[in-house]
Amino acid sequence: MGYYRKYVPKYLKRANHIVTVSEFVKKDIITHLNIPTEKISVAYNAVSPPINVDDIKLPATFIKAIDNKLFPLCRRNTT
Protein backbone atom coordinates (compact mmCIF):
# COMPACT_ATOMS: atom_id res chain seq x y z
CA MET A 1 0.00 0.00 0.00
CA GLY A 2 2.84 2.39 0.78
CA TYR A 3 4.16 2.11 -2.77
CA TYR A 4 0.89 3.33 -4.27
CA ARG A 5 0.57 6.28 -1.92
CA LYS A 6 4.21 7.31 -2.23
CA TYR A 7 5.23 6.68 -5.84
CA VAL A 8 2.14 6.51 -8.04
CA PRO A 9 1.07 10.13 -7.38
CA LYS A 10 4.60 11.26 -8.32
CA TYR A 11 4.54 9.24 -11.53
CA LEU A 12 1.10 10.51 -12.50
CA LYS A 13 2.08 14.13 -11.93
CA ARG A 14 5.22 13.69 -14.07
CA ALA A 15 3.43 11.84 -16.89
CA ASN A 16 2.85 13.58 -20.21
CA HIS A 17 -0.59 12.01 -20.43
CA ILE A 18 -2.71 9.56 -18.40
CA VAL A 19 -5.17 7.00 -19.77
CA THR A 20 -7.74 5.55 -17.39
CA VAL A 21 -10.65 3.13 -17.80
CA SER A 22 -13.56 5.23 -16.48
CA GLU A 23 -14.84 8.74 -15.83
CA PHE A 24 -15.04 7.79 -12.14
CA VAL A 25 -11.29 7.14 -11.92
CA LYS A 26 -10.56 10.24 -14.02
CA LYS A 27 -12.51 12.39 -11.54
CA ASP A 28 -10.66 10.77 -8.61
CA ILE A 29 -7.29 11.55 -10.18
CA ILE A 30 -8.33 15.14 -10.84
CA THR A 31 -9.76 15.59 -7.34
CA HIS A 32 -7.11 13.83 -5.25
CA LEU A 33 -3.97 14.65 -7.24
CA ASN A 34 -4.94 18.02 -8.74
CA ILE A 35 -4.01 16.96 -12.29
CA PRO A 36 -5.48 19.01 -15.17
CA THR A 37 -8.45 17.48 -17.01
CA GLU A 38 -6.83 17.89 -20.43
CA LYS A 39 -3.97 15.61 -19.32
CA ILE A 40 -6.31 12.61 -18.79
CA SER A 41 -8.13 10.47 -21.37
CA VAL A 42 -10.65 7.69 -20.82
CA ALA A 43 -10.35 4.41 -22.77
CA TYR A 44 -13.14 2.08 -21.76
CA ASN A 45 -12.59 -1.65 -21.19
CA ALA A 46 -13.79 -2.80 -24.60
CA VAL A 47 -12.30 -2.93 -28.07
CA SER A 48 -14.12 -3.50 -31.31
CA PRO A 49 -12.92 -4.86 -33.65
CA PRO A 50 -10.31 -7.03 -31.90
CA ILE A 51 -6.76 -5.70 -32.09
CA ASN A 52 -3.42 -7.44 -32.32
CA VAL A 53 -1.43 -6.30 -29.27
CA ASP A 54 1.84 -7.06 -31.08
CA ASP A 55 1.05 -4.29 -33.61
CA ILE A 56 0.87 -1.55 -30.96
CA LYS A 57 3.97 0.65 -30.79
CA LEU A 58 4.65 1.71 -27.20
CA PRO A 59 7.23 4.23 -25.97
CA ALA A 60 10.35 2.95 -24.21
CA THR A 61 8.91 3.83 -20.80
CA PHE A 62 5.26 3.58 -19.79
CA ILE A 63 2.98 2.38 -17.00
CA LYS A 64 0.96 -0.58 -18.21
CA ALA A 65 -1.67 -0.87 -15.48
CA ILE A 66 -2.53 0.40 -12.02
CA ASP A 67 -5.35 -0.93 -9.89
CA ASN A 68 -7.54 0.94 -7.39
CA LYS A 69 -5.15 0.64 -4.44
CA LEU A 70 -4.25 4.31 -5.01
CA PHE A 71 -7.67 5.45 -3.77
CA PRO A 72 -8.86 2.82 -1.28
CA LEU A 73 -11.60 5.04 0.17
CA CYS A 74 -13.27 5.33 -3.24
CA ARG A 75 -13.91 1.63 -3.76
CA ARG A 76 -17.52 0.87 -4.52
CA ASN A 77 -17.73 -2.55 -2.82
CA THR A 78 -16.36 -1.74 0.63
CA THR A 79 -17.64 -3.58 3.66
Chain segment 13-42, per-residue pLDDT in tens = 899 999 988 899 999 999 989 999 999 999
- pLDDT computed for residue 79 by the predictor: 46
Task: Tell me the C-alpha distance between 12 and 53, whole Å.
Answer: 24
Taking the whole predicted model, whether its pTM rises above 0.75 is answered as no
The DSSP-derived string for 47-79 is: -SS---GGG----SS------GGG-GGG-SS--
Give 75's pLDDT tier (boundaries 50, 70, 90): very low
Q: Which residues pair with 41 in a beta bridge?
A: 19
C-beta atoms surrounding 70 within 10 Å: 19
- pLDDT computed for residue 5 by the predictor: 81
